[in-house]
């Protein structure tokens, strides 16, 4: 039976920052309520300055709320104890440049009171999971942006948390690195780990999130299951493969006879990201790059 | 047979420990690694050049003068170098962790803020201990080599068979070179650096940058050295001292550490022993300052929004 306690519970959260010299106040988050269930991937969306990072920091106990409450698996998130269950990857992390990948994980393991064989096994496991075994002895100063994000994700998972909080996990990462991180997030979901992430890369969020909340100027303006939010109720999409022109003509005729309207018949397009990944992967294998995609099949 | 793990089952976690010396040790070890890999020990080369150069320059002095100047310069340099190292190394720790967002990843783990601060301070104190030890070894080595050199010179002048006068001179050389006061004197220099490190950590919890922290602590350093002199000067005026002046002096004494109390170099150079009572009192005061500054840093840092 699944755990009924929400992984994250935010109730009527408000955060106000005073601006002393101007005698003004900045409301970063206003009366926010939401829940993230165990095993769910929740995307917190919004433009820059909409309150996403502040919300995450309050969930992690780094910032105190002005009013309202945040809980992690039922524990008040201002309590240090609640963070036994949490892993966090901040936006554009640098970590300690002078440590190697393995030393970084060992440090984070030790502050979670792991040690000995169990810690070494966990380090090996995580380096394999994020594909950094080859760079385990290299200092982080020599890591690429994508590698830093991956070692960041590994440190977030070191103590086997039940909740992972990711602040812009793919910011500044190239499409290939971005896809790897996305696959890792989907792996976490399969393991039953709840993921709360903030992003403004909407296409990626759409691919991985079960539920989203959209913040605007600190307010939650839309919230719900992704499918419910983005489906257009009065339209239907039929995707055909190798359809002869006669079949398409028949479909047109059928639609004209009915009360429905035919909006469009077109060839589906691949995404620019997929095109990029296919091109770079084939080029790295020494294959010639296609000059057009007219005959591309999705 | 191994049972297949249930991926949805919550992983087992050890019960949270409210206070853990292991966590502090992990942060301290990491801080020490950071400072060592930042090559802060390069300043020791400067120290080595200073005392070796100083030693060569003093060949023209009598041996008593030579050892006095060598001890004066070396202990003075040791005090300044450890103080500078304490201030500069500590001042950059917190701002760097904030800038690199490492602070967030550490505090998002089950690490109480006090343990983070204690670990950072612990790392610097170990670094200062190693630096003080290395400087002491270098200083004692130079002192030892000079002593052997002077004794060899006396024996050579005595024609190889030391007479009574030569033996007396050798005894004087040994007395001038090494004294029992060296060890407590160096210990107090280390404690003064620890105090400055704790003070720097405290300032960095509310300072906006490393530069600001360094400027504030260097200002406190000078006030801390001058306040005893100023207090003695004003109090010597006796009945003319107003209650405002007395109140101001009391406030200065409370806020700024009296760093002059940690200056025992003059006694050591003069060949005087450091009384056990004075050593214990000074050590106790140093440790008290470290504790008070660490608690004050915790008080501000625990309320800080990151």
Residue in chain B lying closest to A192 (CA): B8
Report chain A residues whose CB lies below 8 A from the CB of B112: 80
Q: Average the pLDDT over A188-195 and give the result.
A: 90
Among the partner residues A3, A81, A107, nearest to B10 by beta-carbon distance = A3
Q: Inform me whether the C-beta atom of residue A84 falls under 8 Å from chain B C-beta atoms.
A: yes
Q: What CATH number is attached to the domain comprising A175?
A: 3.40.50.300
Residue B62: pLDDT above 90? no
Among the partner residues B23, B34, B109, nearest to A83 by beta-carbon distance = B109
Among the partner residues B7, B33, B108, nearest to A86 by beta-carbon distance = B108
Residue A205 pLDDT: 82
Among the partner residues A2, A38, A98, nearest to B34 by beta-carbon distance = A98
pLDDT in tens, B122-134: 999 999 999 999 8
Residue B4 pLDDT: 40
Show Cβ contacts of residue B235 under 8 Å, excluding neighbours closer than 6 positions.
Answer: B241, B249
pLDDT band for A281, please (50, 70, 90 cuts): low
pLDDT band for A279, please (50, 70, 90 cuts): low
Q: What H or E segment, with its residue span, contains residue B75?
A: helix B63-91
Cα separation values, A290 from A116, A176, A278, A286, B12, Å: 52, 19, 10, 12, 51
Report chain B residues whose CB lies below 8 A from the CB of A89: 105
**Domain stop point among A181, A203, A230:** A230
Domains: count for chain A: 2
Beta carbons of A165 and B108 less than 8 Å apart: yes
pLDDT in tens, B173-189: 777 777 777 888 899 99
Residue B199: pLDDT above 90? yes
Question: How far is B299 from B295, CA to CA, in rounded Å?
Answer: 6
What share of chain B has pLDDT > 90, as a percent? 29
pLDDT band for B1, please (50, 70, 90 cuts): very low
Q: Decide if A282 is inside a domain.
A: yes
Helix axes B243-255, B210-235, angle to 10 degrees: 140
Lowest-confidence segment of A13-17, A19-23, A258-262, B29-33 by average pLDDT = A19-23
Lowest-confidence segment of A102-106, A266-270, A293-297, B179-183 by average pLDDT = A293-297
Residues A110, A47: contact at Cβ < 8 Å?
no
Domain that holds residue A251: 235-290
pLDDT band for A230, please (50, 70, 90 cuts): confident
Residue B43 pLDDT: 73
Residue B160: pLDDT above 60? yes
R_g over Cα of chain B? 25
Q: Decide if A48 is inside a domain.
A: yes
Among the partner residues B7, B26, B102, nearest to A95 by beta-carbon distance = B102
Beta carbons of A113 and B14 less than 8 Å apart: yes
Q: Inform me whether the C-beta atom of residue A57 falls under 8 Å from chain B C-beta atoms.
A: yes
Looking at the fold, whether A181 and A284 belong to one and the same domain comes out as no
Question: How far is A191 from B11, CA to CA, in rounded Å?
Answer: 11
SS3 for A86? strand
Residue B41 pLDDT: 73
Q: Inform me whether the C-beta atom of residue A129 falls under 8 Å from chain B C-beta atoms.
A: no
Q: Pick from B152, B144, B109: which is nearest to B17 by CA? A: B109
Q: Decide if A135 is inside a domain.
A: no
Residue A70: pLDDT above 90? yes
Portion 8-37 of A in contact with B at CB < 8 A:
none
Q: Average the pLDDT over B18-32 and give the result.
A: 91
Residue B154 pLDDT: 81
Looking at the fold, whether A195 and A241 belong to one and the same domain comes out as no
Q: Inform me whether the C-beta atom of residue B101 falls under 8 Å from chain A C-beta atoms.
A: yes
Report chain B residues whose CB lies below 8 A from the CB of A62: 104, 107-108, 305-306
DSSP B3: P
Among the partner residues B34, B99, B306, nearest to A62 by beta-carbon distance = B306
Residue B208: pLDDT above 90? no
Residues A216, A50: contact at Cβ < 8 Å?
yes
Residue A256 pLDDT: 87
Looking at the fold, whether A221 and A239 belong to one and the same domain comes out as no
The size of the A-B interface in CB pairs under 8 A is 106
Q: Decide if A226 is inside a domain.
A: yes
Residue A88: pLDDT above 70? yes
Residue to mutate among A18, A109, A111, A158, with most B CBs inside 10 A, is A111
Report chain A residues whose CB lies below 8 A from the CB of B38: 98
Q: Inform me whether the C-beta atom of residue A96 falls under 8 Å from chain B C-beta atoms.
A: yes
pLDDT in tens, A1-41: 455 789 999 999 999 988 877 678 888 999 999 999 998 99
Question: How far is B103 from B121, CA to CA, in rounded Å?
Answer: 15
Q: What are phi and psi of B289, to 5 degrees?
A: -60, -45
Looking at the fold, whether A75 and A186 belong to one and the same domain comes out as yes
Residue A176 pLDDT: 79
Residue A3 pLDDT: 58
pLDDT band for A283, please (50, 70, 90 cuts): low
Residue B3: pLDDT above 60? no
Q: Order across the sheet with A8-19: list the strands.
A: A24-36, A8-19, A67-72, A75-76
Reported ipTM: 0.80
pLDDT in tens, B68-90: 788 888 888 888 889 999 999 99
Q: Inform me whether the C-beta atom of residue B60 falls under 8 Å from chain A C-beta atoms.
A: no
Beta carbons of B305 and A95 less than 8 Å apart: no
Looking at the fold, whether A13 and A79 belong to one and the same domain comes out as yes
Looking at the fold, whether A62 and A32 belong to one and the same domain comes out as yes
Residue B119 pLDDT: 95
Looking at the fold, whether A87 and A186 belong to one and the same domain comes out as yes
Q: Decide if A37 is inside a domain.
A: yes
Average pLDDT, chain A: 84
Any idea where the domains of chain B sit in the sequence?
21-32+41-302
pLDDT band for A137, please (50, 70, 90 cuts): very high
**Domain stop point among A193, A211, A230:** A230
**Domain stop point among A215, A230, A245:** A230
Residue in chain A lying closest to B107 (CA): A62
Beta carbons of B16 and A80 less than 8 Å apart: yes
Q: Decide if A167 is inside a domain.
A: yes
Residue A276: pLDDT above 70? no
Q: Average the pLDDT over A98-127 and give the result.
A: 93
Give the residue, A231 or B100, on which the prediction is more confident. B100
Looking at the fold, whether A254 and A198 belong to one and the same domain comes out as no
Residue in chain B lying closest to A152 (CA): B105
Chain B: give the shortest CA distance to residue A58, in Å.
Answer: 10
Q: Inform me whether the C-beta atom of residue B135 falls under 8 Å from chain A C-beta atoms.
A: no
Beta carbons of B107 and A96 less than 8 Å apart: no
Question: How far is B191 from B86, CA to CA, in rounded Å?
Answer: 11
Q: Average the pLDDT over B279-284 and give the result.
A: 89
Beta strands in A37-101 (DSSP E): 41-45, 67-72, 75-76, 86-89
**Dihedral Cα A226, A232, A238, A239, nearest 10 deg:** -50
Residue B227: pLDDT above 80? no
Cα separation values, A226 from A209, A283, B250, Å: 7, 35, 66
Report chain B residues whose CB lies below 8 A from the CB of A3: 10
**A242: alpha, beta or left, given left = phi > 0 and alpha = psi -120 to 50?**
left
Question: How far is A113 from B14, CA to CA, in rounded Å?
Answer: 9
Average pLDDT, chain B: 82
Q: Decide if A131 is inside a domain.
A: no
Q: Inform me whether the C-beta atom of residue A1 falls under 8 Å from chain B C-beta atoms.
A: no
Show Cβ contacts of residue B66 under 8 Å, excluding neighbours closer than 6 positions.
Answer: B58, B59, B146, B150
Give the residue, B242 or A260, on which the prediction is more confident. A260
Report chain A residues whose CB lies below 8 A from the CB of B24: none
Report chain A residues whose CB lies below 8 A from the CB of B30: 96, 99, 107
């Amino acid at each position: 039976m699944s755990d009924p306690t929400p992984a994250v519970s935010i109730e009527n959260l408000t955060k106000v920052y005073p601006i002393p010299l101007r005698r003004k106040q900045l409301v970063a988050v206003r009366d926010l309520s939401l829940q993230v269930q165990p095993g769910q991937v929740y995307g917190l969306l919004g433009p820059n300055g909409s309150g996403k990072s502040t919300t995450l920091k309050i969930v992690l106990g780094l910032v105190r709320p002005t009013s309202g409450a945040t809980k992690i698996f039922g524990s008040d998130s201002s309590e240090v104890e609640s963070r036994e269950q949490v892993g966090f990857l901040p936006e554009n992390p640098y970590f300690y440049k002078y440590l190697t990948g393995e030393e970084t994980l060992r440090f984070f393991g030790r502050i979670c009171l792991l040690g000995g064989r169990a810690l070494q096994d966990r380090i090996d496991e995580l380096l394999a999971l994020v594909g950094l075994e080859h760079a385990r002895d290299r200092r982080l100063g020599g890591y690429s942006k994508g590698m830093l994000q991956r070692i960041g994700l590994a440190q977030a998972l070191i103590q086997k948390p039940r909740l992972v909080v990711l602040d812009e996990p793919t910011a500044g990462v190239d499409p290939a690195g971005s896809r790897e991180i996305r696959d890792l997030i989907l792996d976490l979901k399969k393991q039953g780990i709840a993921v709360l992430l903030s992003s403004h890369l909407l296409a990626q969020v759409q691919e991985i999130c079960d539920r989203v909340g959209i913040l605007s100027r600190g307010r939650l303006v839309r919230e719900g299951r992704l499918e419910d939010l983005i489906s257009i109720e009065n339209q239907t999409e039929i995707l055909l493969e190798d359809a002869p022109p006669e079949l398409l003509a028949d479909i047109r005729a059928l639609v004209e006879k009915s009360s429905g309207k035919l909006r469009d018949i077109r060839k589906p397009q691949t995404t620019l990201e997929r095109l990029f990944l296919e091109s770079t992967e084939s080029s790295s294998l020494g294959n010639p790059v296609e000059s057009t995609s007219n005959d591309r099949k999705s | 047979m191994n049972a297949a793990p249930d991926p949805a089952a919550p992983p087992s976690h050890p019960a949270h420990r409210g206070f853990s010396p292991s966590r502090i040790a992990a942060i301290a070890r990491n801080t020490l690694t950071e400072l060592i890999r930042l090559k802060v020990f390069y300043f020791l080369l400067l120290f080595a050049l200073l005392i070796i150069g100083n030693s060569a320059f003093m060949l023209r002095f009598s041996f008593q003068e030579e050892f006095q100047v060598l001890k004066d310069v070396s202990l003075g340099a040791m005090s300044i170098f450890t103080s500078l190292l304490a201030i500069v190394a500590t001042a950059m720790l917190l701002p760097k962790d904030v800038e690199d967002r490492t602070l967030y990843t550490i505090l998002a783990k089950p690490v109480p803020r006090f343990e983070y601060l204690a670990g950072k301070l612990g790392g610097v104190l170990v670094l200062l201990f190693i630096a003080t030890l290395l400087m002491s070894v270098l200083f004692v080595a130079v002192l030892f080599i000079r002593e052997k050199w002077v004794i060899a010179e006396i024996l050579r002048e005595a024609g190889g068979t030391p007479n009574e006068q030569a033996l007396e001179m050798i005894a004087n050389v040994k007395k001038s070179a090494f004294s029992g006061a060296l060890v407590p004197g160096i210990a107090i220099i280390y404690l003064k650096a620890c105090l400055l490190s704790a003070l720097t950590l405290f300032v960095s919890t509310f300072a906006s940058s490393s530069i600001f922290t360094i400027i504030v602590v260097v200002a406190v350093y000078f006030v801390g050295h001058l306040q005893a002199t100023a207090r003695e000067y004003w109090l010597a005026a006796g009945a003319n001292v107003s209650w405002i002046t007395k109140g101001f002096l009391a406030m200065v004494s409370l806020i700024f550490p009296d760093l002059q109390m940690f200056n025992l170099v003059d006694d050591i150079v003069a060949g005087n022993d450091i009384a056990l009572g004075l050593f214990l009192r000074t050590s106790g005061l140093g440790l008290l300052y470290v504790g008070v500054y660490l608690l004050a840093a915790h008080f501000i840092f625990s309320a800080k929004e990151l």
